[in-house]
Amino acid sequence: MSEIKEVDPEFLKKEGMLPAILKELNHYKNNHRLLLVVSCTFSELMVSTLIEAYCRNGKNINKNTRDFPFSVRLTLLYEMKILNEAEFKSLNWLRKKRNDAAHKPDFKFTNQHLPSWVDENHSNPDKLFSLCINIIGVFWNRHVQLFKEKLPVDS
């Protein structure tokens, strides 16, 4: 993964869900807690889109978050081979960090929070913005046709 210091302002002016997501993440790039929460929220939206597309009872699975929390839906997609191992690891890491950010009042993103699989371009907490964008961007690109079709931006 290459380091992304900022998103091209011209890209943020484009229509579509990915520019909308990146615009939102760009807004929170200096607030680690909110960046993790917002990044995970968008990744959960994309996971729900895959669940609905690939599972016969996808709508019911997505509605029943008590029996099918985000962690279970990730595992289901991984077991169905819709998510590869790298996607599963990165999205699961993002989910766990989101939970820490949302539920621990003293949360501060430090080196201890970095995933073991991170490369040298993302080896310190100041690179969290780039790491989140890489996770979401790779995930988006791998399922781009479905996401473009199912996740249009409302005007």
Tens digit of pLDDT for each residue in 129-143?
A: 999 999 999 999 999
Q: How many domains does the chain have?
A: 1
Q: Using CA atoms, how far apart are residues 76 and 69, in angstroms rounded to an integer?
A: 11
Question: Is residue 11 domain-resident?
Answer: no
Per the CB < 8 A criterion, the answer to whether 143 and 50 are in contact is yes
Is the pTM value of this prediction over 0.85?
yes
128 φ/ψ angles, rounded to the nearest 5 degrees: -60, -40
pLDDT digits (tens, 9 = 90+) for 75-127: 999 999 999 999 999 999 999 999 999 999 999 999 888 888 888 878 889 99
Residue span of the structural domain in which 83 resides: 32-150
> Does 95 reside within a domain?
yes
Predicted local confidence at residue 155, as pLDDT? 44
Q: Is 17 a member of any domain?
A: no
